Amino acid sequence: MTDLPRLLAVARGDAEPDLVIESTRAFDGFTREWLEGDVAVAEGRIAGIGSFPTGGERIDGRGRFVVPGLIDAHMHIESSKLSPHEFARAVVPRGVTSVVADPHELANVLGPDGVHWLLDATEGLPLRVWVMASSCVPASSFETAYRSMGPDDMEGILRHPRALGVAEMMNFPGVINGDPEVLAKLSLAGSSHVDGHAPGVRGRALDAYAAAGIRSDHESTTWEEALDKRRRGMWVLLREASNARNLRDLLELVRRYGPEYCALCTDDTEPTDLVRDGSVDHGLRLALADGISIEDALLMATLNAARCHGLDDLGAVAPGFRADLLLLDDLDAFRPTHVWRGGELVARDGVALDFPRAEVPEFVRGTVRPAPVSAADLRIPDAGTERVRVIGLIPGQIVTAALTDTATVRDGAVVADPARDLAKMAVIERHHRTGNVGLGLMRGFGLREGAFASTVAHDAHNIVVVGADDASMLACVQRLAELGGGVCVARDGAVVGELALPIAGLLSEEPAEVVVETMDALEAQLAEQGVEVATPFMALSFLALSVIPALKLTDQGLVDVEAFALVGLGV
């Protein structure tokens, strides 16, 4: 704090504030009351709520509401496909003033240098970006990342003043079974806490996971699972993501047991959803529409999120707290007219005020370096069994089904069969030119022709492609290598649409509006080719994540996540 004595003088009434929101109703998250009076700000912090008749910039708050800035309790900026500047420009006008980010996408592509770049790139934003040190890079030994990150790398990140703790511990089998290398990451110097990631973990296994000191989880898909975790002292992060729309299913926990130990998060959000629907503000509105009170919803989007991460001076309209504030005319619509960060106006009437854009260094470009890929690399030999494994897409979820079916074989090779919604899938290693190509079958997109591909493929971010014919799949893979990363769609063996993502093969340098327009066009093209799934590129990206059940594909092959083992195509 630059001048504590002056803040105290303003609080006492002996000095004039910098900003006063007059005659408003301010939300008190500690008692869930609405307090009437002036909200006074000095030195970037709240001086008090009461009568401040003179001094400072005056904002008329009569008939209006003041609430804390929203906090996203767990998310990945990279999933927005937007540069940090554009991400902030998209979310700040909606009232999001802080995010707790796990940059493990950048870490998988660039190692710790990627995390440090993100910290540098977010330094001058009107958005507070807090970082957790990525704990599972790569997510498992079944996928190839640029390099692994160990405890020393993580401690280097944790020395940064905006680094909080250890990010989502996805290797829950390693924790539960007491793997020494995994446990070493749970007690690093500089870490205040550890975030969890335990999809479907219940009972004694969950006891072991919580006993290791892990204090949050964002992977629950039912309120009963979330209750199990909350009963063990874990913060439950209620997720509403583009491809994991879990919020409504989890709100029963809040209705039955209250909002304590619950916070809102977005995890992974496509740019189209972010720009149209919003971020944590969207989750808050969904909660209101589902019957949750505004007080409980606000608590989960502000003070609870701050407490979960030990951000002791954020998330409340109270003396000494940072003046990250929103002014609203209508709580149900929840569209801030004013957004302040540290008492400074950063957005008005849905538009962010201008702020500097950081230069993008060259070392974050040129990260897509696959070995040359030919049609022969995409050929799947006949498995020689009656049944083969098939990844089953579950719309709106990042978990998949482990299906079996009969393969369509032509000239001794397994081929896609669009009539049965059986598409071919490939994951091509992009970091070290190893030539690794994982091959398999999947069902659920409804793709009738062509192919689509992405260099956003959680978590190692190798090239992932799904197709109805090999020529279109090959065209996508080769074009993404030429672009240096991105997403694309092909038809009849030729690329018909693309979005370049030159920053680490993950992020665009275009304005958010251009990214959304391009993604709309790509999704419309896929709809013409039979794809009926919402946010198909997000769905595609999670088919390669080897730590989310049940069956996934990496550059090393098919992964049975529940058995935590590589398996063959044939059953």
CA distance 235 to 195: 9
For residues 398 and 548, the answer to whether their CB atoms sit within 8 Å is: yes
Dihedral class, residue 179 (left if φ above 0, else alpha if ψ from -120 to 50, else beta): beta
Return the domain boundaries, the chain.
4-63, 69-310+354-360, 365-567
Q: Which residues pair with 91 in a beta bridge?
A: none
The whole-model pTM stands at 0.94
Look at residues 267, 322, 331 and name the one whose alpha carbon lies nearest to residue 72: 267
* pLDDT recorded at residue 244: 87
Q: What ranges make up the beta strands (E) of 45-201?
A: 45-50, 57-60, 65-68, 70-75, 96-101, 128-133, 163-169, 194-196
The strand pair at 423-428 and 437-443 is best described as: antiparallel
* pLDDT recorded at residue 243: 84
DSSP 102: -
Q: Which residue has the tokens 């959000």?
A: 269
CA distance 414 to 47: 69
CA distance 502 to 116: 18
For residues 224 and 250, the answer to whether their CB atoms sit within 8 Å is: no
Looking at this protein, which amino acid is placed at residue 133? A
Low-confidence residues of the chain: pLDDT under 50: none
Query: Residue-wise over 430-466: b if at least 16 C-beta within 10 A, else e?
Result: bbeeeebbbbbbbbbbbbebbbbbbbbbbbbbbbbbb
CA distance 446 to 133: 38
H or E stretch including 375?
Answer: none
* pLDDT recorded at residue 397: 87
For residues 238 and 305, the answer to whether their CB atoms sit within 8 Å is: no
Classify 554 as helix, strand or coil. strand
DSSP 503: B
* Domain at 69-310+354-360, CATH class: alpha beta
* pLDDT recorded at residue 15: 97
CA distance 537 to 453: 8
Q: What ranges make up the beta strands (E) of 382-501?
A: 388-393, 400-405, 408-410, 413-415, 423-428, 437-443, 451-454, 463-467, 486-491, 494-500
* pLDDT recorded at residue 1: 61
Q: SS3 letters for 47-62?
A: EEEECCCCCCEEEECC
* pLDDT recorded at residue 80: 97
- Architecture of the domain spanning 4-63: Roll (2.30)
* pLDDT recorded at residue 485: 98
